[in-house]
Amino acid sequence: MYLCPMLKSTLLKATEAGANEIKRFFNSEFKISNKEGKNNLVTEADHAAEKAIIDIIRLDYPGHFILSEETGEIIMDSEYKWIIDPIDGTVNFANGIPICCVSIGLEKAGAMLLGAVYNPLMNEYFLAEKGGGATLNDKKIKVSNKTDVTHACLVTGFPYTYLDMPNGPLQVFERFIRNGVPVRRLGSAAIDLCWVAAGRFDGFYEHKLQAWDSAAGYLMVEEAGGRVSDFKGHEYSPYQPHILATNGKIHDEMLEIINNRKAL
């Protein structure tokens, strides 16, 4: 797929700028406040990283639409939209746990073109380009080859405000762990998705994500040969809450288990 090199250059610069703020603030003293729900934190570093990212994008592309976690929408009449999470994994970051990252996706006319997820604390830079594959530190990555959920290693997350619904996050989680399936929780959906893309996890599911959590990561999984859908198996959109991302080989079985149509 043809892509203007300047778009990719801007993405790389913006991601690096956000990562520099993560490194600057990590394990230092900074202001912390709370959003809706317990432990839904936002820090001084989130705002600094977001400003650094947006400044670079607006310098190169002042007419582009921006959607960012802390600022919200900067609405422009443009088919290009930058979807930004300045620090995904803020609770980890605030507690000195180095599992956090900058996540930026670039969408054109509703289709994700580019995704970058960078954890500078672990020196892991994931990059995906529509039709061009996915890389970790410039090396191609691909999803795992597991074919059975029983032998899979999974990862999930839980919402800050619990969803009181049938088949909620705790019920699905219990379904897996009571049957001995390892399910991890890293605290960063963007990293979860990248680790599926890299073959470290075989599948990731979550009940309530925002667009900035998954925009870059879901493209990473698809470009690494995996499959991403909502819980009904439909084509994934980051503007709805549910996500299932797998190596593709366990996807249908995961859907059956998540929807309580099959017992492990």
If asked whether residues 64 and 180 sit together in one domain, one would say: no
* Domain edge (last residue) among 140, 163, 190: 140
Report residue 180 as tokens: 């001995």
Rounded to whole angstroms, the Cα distance separating 58 from 7 reads 12
Angle at which helices 211-223 and 189-197 pack, to 10 degrees?
A: 0
Identify the bridge partners of residue 72 per DSSP, sorted by sequence position: 68
How confident is residue 135, by pLDDT bands cut at 50, 70 and 90?
A: very high
N residues, the chain: 264
If asked whether residues 155 and 100 sit together in one domain, one would say: no
If asked whether residues 12 and 129 sit together in one domain, one would say: yes
- Is 264 a domain residue? no
If asked whether residues 29 and 135 sit together in one domain, one would say: yes
CATH classification at residue 101: 3.30.540.10
pLDDT of 243 over the 80 cut: yes
Q: What is the mean pLDDT of residues 234-254?
A: 97
If asked whether residues 115 and 170 sit together in one domain, one would say: no
Q: What is the mean pLDDT of residues 42-70?
A: 94
* Domain edge (last residue) among 140, 171, 200: 140
* Alpha-carbon distances of 148 from 109, 128, 145, 173, 254, rounded to whole Å: 36, 27, 9, 17, 9
Comparing 31-45, 188-202, 218-232, which segment has the lowest mean pLDDT? 31-45
* Domain edge (last residue) among 140, 159, 183: 140
Q: Report which of residues 28 and 220 the model is more confident about.
A: 220
Rounded to whole angstroms, the Cα distance separating 250 from 255 reads 9
CATH classification at residue 227: 3.40.190.80
Q: What is the mean pLDDT of residues 75-81?
A: 96
Q: What domain range includes position 80?
A: 5-140
If asked whether residues 33 and 125 sit together in one domain, one would say: yes
If asked whether residues 99 and 65 sit together in one domain, one would say: yes
pLDDT of 31 over the 80 cut: no
Rounded to whole angstroms, the Cα distance separating 86 from 37 reads 20
Q: What are phi and psi of 238, to 5 degrees?
A: -70, -5
If asked whether residues 80 and 201 sit together in one domain, one would say: no
Comparing 98-102, 107-111, 156-160, which segment has the lowest mean pLDDT? 156-160
Q: How many domains does the chain fold into?
A: 2
- Is 131 a domain residue? yes
- Is 239 a domain residue? yes
- Is 214 a domain residue? yes
Q: How high does pLDDT run on average in the chain?
A: 94
pLDDT of 39 over the 70 cut: no
If asked whether residues 106 and 207 sit together in one domain, one would say: no
Q: What is the mean pLDDT of residues 138-161?
A: 95
Which pTM does this prediction carry? 0.95
If asked whether residues 44 and 130 sit together in one domain, one would say: yes
Which residue type, as a one-letter code, is found at position 251?
Answer: H
- Is 202 a domain residue? yes
Q: What is the mean pLDDT of residues 242-263?
A: 96
pLDDT digits (tens, 9 = 90+) for 111-127: 999 999 999 999 999 99
Rounded to whole angstroms, the Cα distance separating 264 from 254 reads 10
If asked whether residues 136 and 19 sit together in one domain, one would say: yes
C-beta separation of 202 from 144 below 8 A? yes
The beta strand positions in 120-202, using DSSP E, are 124-129, 133-136, 139-140, 154-156, 183-184
Of 78, 83, 87, which is closest to residue 49 (Cα–Cα)?
87
Q: What is the mean pLDDT of residues 44-69?
A: 96
Rounded to whole angstroms, the Cα distance separating 178 from 166 reads 18
Q: What is the mean pLDDT of residues 36-42?
A: 64
pLDDT of 37 over the 70 cut: no
- Is 80 a domain residue? yes
How confident is residue 29, by pLDDT bands cut at 50, 70 and 90?
A: confident
If asked whether residues 120 and 239 sit together in one domain, one would say: no
Q: What number of H helices and E strands is found in the chain?
A: 7, 15
